[in-house]
Homo-oligomer: A and B are copies of this chain.
Amino acid sequence: MKVYVLRLGHRVQRDHRVTTHCALVARAFGADGLFFTGDRDTSIIISVQDIINRWGGPFEIAYIPNWRVWLKKKVRDGFEVMHLTMYGRPVNKVINNIKRSKKDKLIIIGAEKVPGEVYEIARHNVSITLQPHSEVAALAVFLDRLFNGKELEKKFTTPELVIMPQFRGKKVKRVGKK
């Protein structure tokens, strides 16, 4: 099962760090890639690629100029679309239903206002709390539910660096050279 994230409406100035956080969360919590639309911002791709080089992959990161065309193609390819929104149905109510389907998943998260058509295209509109907070947090908790917490122990391939967990302080092991 492939799990992709589509980040809508990225604005280069305002969203740089939040979109980067979304991409790193997508990677760390077990998704296979993040695709973003809005402003073309190569610095996001460079930042995330740098993390992949050092901490391992595989993970896809790319800018999508025309997300409507891209999304239609993904739907034709059999991806099940979910949209994370505070207005949707609570994740606790829908997650079992979502997990039963073994289809590839496309998770949409917005920056500011999400076009109304996204609510229609999505098979599931899912809320992570009914409160305003953060698409970064919503994505993390959704992926954590989807993968039953197992993603927390995910191993990445060909990392340069690996953390050895400590009670105090930091220990990083250099495992590969690039």
User: When the two chains form their complex, are residues B152 and A24 in contact, meaning their CB atoms are under 8 A apart?
Assistant: no
Q: Which residue of B lies closest to A21 (CB)?
A: B134
Chain A contact patch, size range: 35 or more
* Cα(A138)–Cα(B87), bound, Å: 23
Does A153 belong to the interface (CB within 8 Å)? yes
User: When the two chains form their complex, are residues B89 and A166 in contact, meaning their CB atoms are under 8 A apart?
Assistant: yes
Main secondary structure on A side of the interface with B? mixed
Binds B, one of A2-10, A72-80, A97-105, A168-176: A168-176
Query: Which of B132, B140, B165 contacts A141 (CB under 8 A)?
Result: B140
Does A42 belong to the interface (CB within 8 Å)? no
Does A178 belong to the interface (CB within 8 Å)? no
* Cα(A165)–Cα(B15), bound, Å: 27
User: When the two chains form their complex, are residues A137 and B29 in contact, meaning their CB atoms are under 8 A apart?
Assistant: yes
Chain A interface residues (CB < 8 Å from chain B):
14-15, 17-18, 21-22, 24-25, 27-29, 51, 55, 85-92, 116, 119-120, 125, 127-134, 136-141, 144, 149, 151-154, 156, 162-163, 165-172
| Subset of 11 A-B contacts with CB under 8 Å | A17-B17, A17-B18, A18-B18, A24-B134, A25-B134, A88-B165, A119-B168, A125-B168, A129-B152, A131-B156, A141-B144
